[in-house]
Amino acid sequence: MDQDKLYALEERLRAIEGNDWFDPMRAAEVCLVPNIVVPKDFRIPEFIKYTGLECPNTHLRSYYNKMAEVIRDDKLLIYFFQDSLAGSALSWYMRLDSVRIRSWRDLVEAFLKQYKFNLEIAPDRTSLMSMEKRSQESVRAYAQRWRDEAMHVQPPLIETEMVTLFANTFKASYYEHLMGSSAQHFYDAERIAERIEQGIKAGRIAEPLQTKGFIGRKMESHVNNFEGGSNGKIVDSYNPQIPTSHVAHINFNKPFSPNRANNQPNNQNNHHRPNTRYISEQLPPLPMPLKDMYAKLLSIG
């Protein structure tokens, strides 16, 4: 194939694909800062890249700190701003019109207008309270993740408020100990939660149930045992003795005479209890109604 045919083929390919964008003259026209002159003694900083997902105010402040040496030179600020962008944010910068961006203030306003939605969807106090520790997540990893989200809340959280919100995100076993502690700083609450985690792994603290609140399956089983009646005592096979140490501290004025329904065993419920056994034992009358006793037991934990 001779040289003329090759040249004609190249021209046809250029006409099909288009090469106006890659023309050096065209590239100079779309540059936001034409004829830029960089001082010889200026060292280009290493910028933190903005991808379009972070807080725009934080990125601008970081960029200002990096460019403190030339903070009053609009052309240098506009020109090197592209080096602090990545991904979709860099694509946005490349599509800016030089007619509208004539100063550094114009670029800042355009940048904040483009990414202001990141400020609108920033975490607040409600979103912090709805966070939960994942099942396989350690307390330290969760505390770091929670603290990172809390740093974006405006107005900023004070330390004691942060401790309260952090404790409210845990389930029963953690919640009881955290709220009962005198922690005033976040790192104190995180250390207490870590000790609770170690106690759960060692089997010394009951693992938190999936259901929220203080009443779990074990508490419900104890309540059912109280309702078994006075002729026979129903005992859970996994825990054959009902703890009565706290009951001794309750002041009983008068013994309460339960009605006949409480004295008779509930045959219908007992029919579906394969893990229970009966011990023939005459129980004394209850000192107060069941609902009052239940409230007392809950109040003392």
pLDDT the model gives residue 54:
84
Number of Cβ within a 10 Å radius of residue 89 = 22
pLDDT the model gives residue 280:
60
pLDDT the model gives residue 202:
87
Q: What is the pLDDT along the chain (301 residues), one digit of tens a residue?
A: 566 677 677 677 666 655 554 454 454 555 788 788 888 888 889 999 999 888 898 899 999 999 998 989 999 999 999 999 999 999 999 999 888 888 999 999 999 999 988 877 777 788 888 899 988 899 999 999 999 888 878 788 888 889 889 988 998 878 888 887 878 899 898 998 999 889 888 888 887 665 444 444 444 455 455 445 444 444 444 444 444 444 445 555 555 554 544 445 455 555 555 555 555 667 778 888 888 888 888 878 7
Can you tell me which residue has the tokens 């944010």?
89
CA nearest neighbour of 288 among 232, 242, 250: 250
Distance from C-alpha of 89 to C-alpha of 87, rounded to nearest angstrom: 5
CA nearest neighbour of 261 among 238, 228, 216, 236: 228
Please, which residues bridge with residue 267 across strands? none
User: Does the pTM of the predicted model rise above 0.95?
Assistant: no
Number of Cβ within a 10 Å radius of residue 140 = 13
pLDDT the model gives residue 209:
61
Q: Are 227 and 278 in contact (CB under 8 A)?
A: no
Six-digit token string for 265: 């065993």
Q: What are the distances in angstroms from CA 30 to CA 25, 59, 74, 83? A: 9, 25, 17, 17
